[in-house]
């Protein structure tokens, strides 16, 4: 079985090599206009995280003529690009050399700073381009094969190895099934652990097929690079579908090569007033807690939470609070019955 898979991979690489040869016959080298790549000086590759990279890129822009000067340019893609299937002996400097023709960039991968390794440990990395137009020019020369994009890199032992290029189209971050329906945040779920290649339309289709009533889906992206963070939101048009999804707690996301079990929670809102106070006095207090149990699905102030959840059958409910990256988190609660 392994030999058959290896043979198939070898055949695919040979096919891609032929496509590369044809490509190079028509295009001896890629030239990038000066206004796109004003400086060939690369950013340093020894950076610990995306935030440090972003700060350094902003400093670089001070001595470069920025692409943004062309005001007509419309960004289509995230500046963060996934590269998979790298040769095992390629280091970050060699990766940079393979892609520097498209513009200034840095090479990064998860836990790069902690590992102190110059080689991507799992055979993939991320390219963080300084300019979005660099991504578009990379796409212009990629080879398309079996629904995937490839470019070619060389290491000390492997020449012109095809590696997969995966970009994020900004239009794939949101999808509206029915724009005539208003979005109700209280009928919205948070989906954690969403595979990063999954598009909003695909997330909407999967959830709608399971529970129906989906009117919107969104993929959470980081504000600077606009790359998926691994989470999403889905809004429903009716309470029945919303409760069905929340009750399931987990859902299997199956699409193309993706097959992953992910967690589903109610989407927790900021700065909400206590629903219980509103019922009794008409003026709610600030509500830091949300009860995700289907018998509640309400926001509570601390006092009302204690009163309501002292009742039989509700004493084991856990409050959700909002934490970083819009991710709801269950928290322990110390009961106070002496009210």
Nearest Cα to 206, choosing from 166, 268, 260?
260
Pick 193 or 56 by higher pLDDT. Answer: 193
Above 70 in pLDDT, residue 182? Answer: yes
pLDDT confidence tier of residue 57, bands split at 50, 70 and 90? low
Buried b (16+ CB within 10 A) or exposed e, 152-177: bbebeeeeebbbbbebbebebbbbbb
Above 50 in pLDDT, residue 35? Answer: no
What is the rounded average pLDDT of the residues 202-221? 96
Domain shared by 60 and 107, yes or no: yes
From residue 210, alpha-carbon distances to 9, 162, 241 in Å are 35, 37, 9
pLDDT for 46 equals 36
Query: By mean pLDDT, which of 25-29, 111-115, 180-184 is the weakest?
Result: 25-29
Q: Is 72 inside a domain boundary?
A: yes
Above 70 in pLDDT, residue 56? Answer: no
pLDDT confidence tier of residue 51, bands split at 50, 70 and 90? low
Is pTM, for the whole model, over 0.85?
Answer: no
pLDDT for 218 equals 97
pLDDT confidence tier of residue 111, bands split at 50, 70 and 90? confident
Domain shared by 204 and 303, yes or no: no
For residues 273 and 304, give the distance between their C-alpha atoms in angstroms, rounded to a whole number: 11
Q: What CATH number did the domain enclosing 319 receive?
A: 4.10.640.40
Above 90 in pLDDT, residue 12? Answer: no
- Cα angle value 188/233/215 (rounded, 5°): 60
Domain shared by 13 and 133, yes or no: yes
Q: Is 12 inside a domain boundary?
A: yes
Above 70 in pLDDT, residue 337? Answer: no
Domain shared by 145 and 87, yes or no: yes
pLDDT confidence tier of residue 5, bands split at 50, 70 and 90? low
pLDDT for 95 equals 95
Q: Residue 192: beta bridge partners?
A: 231, 263
The whole domain housing 228 covers 170-266
Domain shared by 252 and 123, yes or no: no
Domain shared by 12 and 63, yes or no: yes
Of 247, 266, 285, the one marking the end of a domain is 266
pLDDT for 119 equals 84
Pick 165 or 338 by higher pLDDT. Answer: 165
Q: Is 305 inside a domain boundary?
A: yes
Domain shared by 223 and 321, yes or no: no
Q: Is 100 inside a domain boundary?
A: yes
Domain shared by 199 and 128, yes or no: no
Domain shared by 206 and 130, yes or no: no
Q: Is 214 inside a domain boundary?
A: yes
What's the whole-number average pLDDT of the chain? 80
What is the rounded average pLDDT of the residues 144-152? 93
Domain shared by 218 and 247, yes or no: yes
Instruction: Classify residue 197 by burial, with Cβ atoms within 10 Å: 0-12, 13-18, 19+.
Output: middle
pLDDT confidence tier of residue 63, bands split at 50, 70 and 90? very low
Q: Is 338 inside a domain boundary?
A: no
Tell me the pLDDT tens digit for each residue of 303-317: 999 999 999 989 899
For residues 89 and 100, give the distance between their C-alpha atoms in angstroms, rounded to a whole number: 19
pLDDT for 196 equals 93
pLDDT for 116 equals 72
Buried b (16+ CB within 10 A) or exposed e, 275-289: bbbbeeeeebbebbb
What is the rounded average pLDDT of the residues 47-55? 51
Nearest Cα to 134, choosing from 55, 80, 214, 192?
80
Of 144, 166, 188, the one marking the end of a domain is 166
pLDDT confidence tier of residue 71, bands split at 50, 70 and 90? low
E-strand ranges in the chain read 80-84, 105-108, 124-129, 143-145, 148-153, 161-166, 174-176, 188-192, 214-221, 228-236, 250-255, 258-266, 289-291, 298-300, 319-323, 327-330
Mean pLDDT is highest, among 56-60, 112-116, 215-219, 329-333, for: 215-219
- Residue 314 exposure: Cα atoms within 13 Å on the Cβ side: 17
Q: Is 225 inside a domain boundary?
A: yes
pLDDT confidence tier of residue 27, bands split at 50, 70 and 90? very low
From residue 208, alpha-carbon distances to 196, 201, 228, 308 in Å are 19, 10, 21, 33
Report the helix count and the strand count for the chain, using DSSP H and E: 9, 16
pLDDT for 309 equals 94
Of 166, 194, 226, the one marking the end of a domain is 166
For residues 77 and 129, give the distance between their C-alpha atoms in angstroms, rounded to a whole number: 11
Number of compact structural domains in the chain:
3
Domain shared by 153 and 20, yes or no: yes
Above 70 in pLDDT, residue 55? Answer: no
Domain shared by 189 and 290, yes or no: no
Q: Is 335 inside a domain boundary?
A: no
pLDDT for 121 equals 83
For residues 67 and 35, give the distance between their C-alpha atoms in angstroms, rounded to a whole number: 6
Pick 335 or 260 by higher pLDDT. Answer: 260
Q: What CATH number did the domain enclosing 206 receive?
A: 3.30.70.330
Above 60 in pLDDT, residue 238? Answer: yes
């Amino acid at each position: 079985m392994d030999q058959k898979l290896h043979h198939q991979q070898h055949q695919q690489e040979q096919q891609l090599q032929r496509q590369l040869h044809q490509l190079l016959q028509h295009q001896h080298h890629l030239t990038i206009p000066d206004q796109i790549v004003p400086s060939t000086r690369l950013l340093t590759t020894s950076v610990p995280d995306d935030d440090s990279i972003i700060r350094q890129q902003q400093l670089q822009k001070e001595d470069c003529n920025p692409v943004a000067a062309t005001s007509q340019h419309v960004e289509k893609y995230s500046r963060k690009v996934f590269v998979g299937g790298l040769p095992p002996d390629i280091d970050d400097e060699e990766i940079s050399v393979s892609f520097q023709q498209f513009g200034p960039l840095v090479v990064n991968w998860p836990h790069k700073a902690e590992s102190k390794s110059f080689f991507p440990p799992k055979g993939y990395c991320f390219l963080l381009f300084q300019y979005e137009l660099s991504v578009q020019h990379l796409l212009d020369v990629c080879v398309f094969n079996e629904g995937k994009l490839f470019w070619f890199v060389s290491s000390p032992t492997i020449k012109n190895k095809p590696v997969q290029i995966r970009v994020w189209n900004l239009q794939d971050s949101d999808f509206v099934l029915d724009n005539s329906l208003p979005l109700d945040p209280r009928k919205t779920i948070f989906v954690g652990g969403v595979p990063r290649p999954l598009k909003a339309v695909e997330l909407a289709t999967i959830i709608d097929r399971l529970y129906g009533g989906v009117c919107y889906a969104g993929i959470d992206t980081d504000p600077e690079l606009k790359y998926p963070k691994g989470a999403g939101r889905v809004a429903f048009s009716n309470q029945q579908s919303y409760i069905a999804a929340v009750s399931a707690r987990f859902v299997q996301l199956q699409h193309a090569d993706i097959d992953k079990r992910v967690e589903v929670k109610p989407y927790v809102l900021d700065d909400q007033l206590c629903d219980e106070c509103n019922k009794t006095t008409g003026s709610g207090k600030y509500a830091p807690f949300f009860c995700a149990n289907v018998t509640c699905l309400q926001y509570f102030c601390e006092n009302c939470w204690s009163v309501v959840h002292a009742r039989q059958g509700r004493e084991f409910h856990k409050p959700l609070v909002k934490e970083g990256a819009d991710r709801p988190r269950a928290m322990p609660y110390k009961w106070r019955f002496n009210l």
